[in-house]
Amino acid sequence: EIVLTQSPATLSLSPGERATLSCRASQSVSSYLAWYQQKPGQAPRLLIYDASNRATDIPARFSGSGSGTDFTLTISSLEPEDFAVYYCQQRSSWLTFGGGTKVEIK
């Protein structure tokens, strides 16, 4: 099973700041990696697919990069609605999720 490790567990930032989230895979997943956003009491929402492609209606401030084992989700300037938990997920070998990174208001 491919294990995805996300860091940091919690990121404390202010609105307008840049957020950088990391996801590391235990073995290569090529570019078969997605990022999801989940707000309290809501289902996850697909943000990024295949490492760097924004899903439909996702604002341009969200961007993804990486390949192989190291991936990054960047939020260029945090809006109030961006404070949430973010998960990475790979589909290279079956399906696994990372443990999540909580982006909280500082």
Partner 1 sequence: EVQLVESGGGLVQPGGSLKLSCAASGFSFSGSDMHWVRQASGKGLEWVGRIRSKANSYATVYAASVQGRFTISRDDSKNTAYLQMNSLKTEDTAVYYCTRLGWLQYFDLWGRGTLVTVSS
| Site residues (vs partner 1, CB under 8 A) | 32, 34, 36, 42-46, 49-50, 55, 87, 89, 91, 94-100
CB of 53 to partner 1, least distance (A): 8
CB of 103 to partner 1, least distance (A): 15
- Enter the DSSP assignment of 60: T
Please report the sign of the dihedral spanned by the C-alpha atoms of residue 38, residue 43, residue 47, residue 50.
Answer: positive
Q: Which is nearer to partner 1, 24 or 45 (CB)?
A: 45
CB of 99 to partner 1, least distance (A): 5
Query: Both tokens of residue 42?
Result: 């809501």
Residues 6+ apart with CB under 8 A from 58: 47, 48
Q: Which is nearer to partner 1, 13 or 55 (CB)?
A: 55
Residues 6+ apart with CB under 8 A from 37: 44, 45, 47, 82, 84, 85, 86
Q: Which is nearer to partner 1, 50 or 70 (CB)?
A: 50
